[in-house]
Structure 1
Amino acid sequence: MAIYGLWVINKAGGLVYQRNFADGLAPLTSNEYLVLAGTLHGIHAITSRLSPVGSSSGVQVIEGETFKMNILLTVTGTKFVLLTSLAETTADTVLQKVYDIYSDAVMKNPFHTPEMPIRSEGFDTRVGTLIGTGQT
């Protein structure tokens, strides 16, 4: 079981935070990460409209041959994306904890501008501790 990376995508589809935690992901440039985030944002918007019955919040899991992407959509439209191994079973719990850290360390920071890149050492440290030590 492994967590490979975390992305935070703002409500406009811009990548505001990206961090890799384990080997296994192809090395990408910052522009490639931005394009992937925008593409995922579009896919998420399309899938939220496809529900044949009632409303949908969009895709929550995308599974490939060697990895999974779990997506947590917040009420403000921010998306938290966790890239994991197929065997990872704690992704939903980890995403909720990351969102809690984001709410506490980023959104309570009077110097942070919403929808802009996250430049919070406290957020980065706490996320690293959460994911780096087995999701405590």
Structure 2
Amino acid sequence: MVVFALLIINKAGGLVYNREFHTGLAKLSSNDLLILAGTFHGVHAITRSLIPSSLKPISNPGTPQNFPQRPSGLEVLESSHFRLTCFQTLTGTKFLLFTEPAQPNVDSVIKRIYELYTDFVMKNPFYTVEMPIRCQKFDAGLDAFVRVKS
């Protein structure tokens, strides 16, 4: 398994965490990472609203409404050099994971990263929500998980 990088974007589109695990992709500057996060946030919002009219619910005032699954927006972007997988939480936080294109089980990897986030960041009494993440236990947990999978 090769995980190139992880970015975490808050619900407002701000980059709150970035981490590079392996070389292989071009090194981006801090400004480029901020631009990438903001651009992805906007594109993700646009793709959430692209729903075929055949899937939109029709509201009838007298009948109970079936609530279809909410549109998820852009989930995977694949190129010949990398795969970008996006996992959005219910609170709007987005986890962007850059891996090799042929990487298997990316969904389980990103879910495990989310579990580490909830255990070490969200349960940290000193962390302020939507602010940059600076948590050594989270970094150590990510290192241990990615190294075991590599």
Instruction: Check whether TM > 0.5.
Output: yes
**AA aligned opposite 2:16:** V
Aligned length: 135
Question: Which protein shows a greater Rg?
Answer: 2
Instruction: Answer yes or no: is 1:95 the counterpart of 2:110.
Output: yes
Q: Which residue is equivalent to 2:25?
A: 25
Question: Cα deviation per residue 1:56-79 (whole Å; 9 max; x = unaligned)?
Answer: 111110111211100000000000
Specify which of 133, 137, 144 is matched with residue 122 of structure 1.
Answer: 137
The CA distance in 2 between the partners of 1:132 and 1:82, in whole Å, is 15
**Runs (4+) off by over 2 Å:** none
Give how far 1:80 is off: 0.5
Q: Which residue is equivalent to 2:38?
A: 38
* SS of the residue 2:119 aligns to: helix
Give the unaligned 5+ runs of structure 2: 57-69
The CA distance in 1 between the partners of 2:147 and 2:36, in whole Å, is 24
* Identity across the alignment (%): 48
Instruction: Answer yes or no: is 1:109 the counterpart of 2:124.
Output: yes
Scaled by the length of structure 1, the TM-score of the pair is: 0.95
Instruction: Answer yes or no: is 1:134 the counterpart of 2:149.
Output: yes
* SS of the residue 2:71 aligns to: coil
* SS of the residue 1:133 aligns to: helix
The CA distance in 2 between the partners of 1:4 and 1:91, in whole Å, is 12
Instruction: Answer yes or no: is 1:56 the counterpart of 2:71.
Output: yes
Cα RMSD (Å): 1.1
Scaled by the length of structure 2, the TM-score of the pair is: 0.87
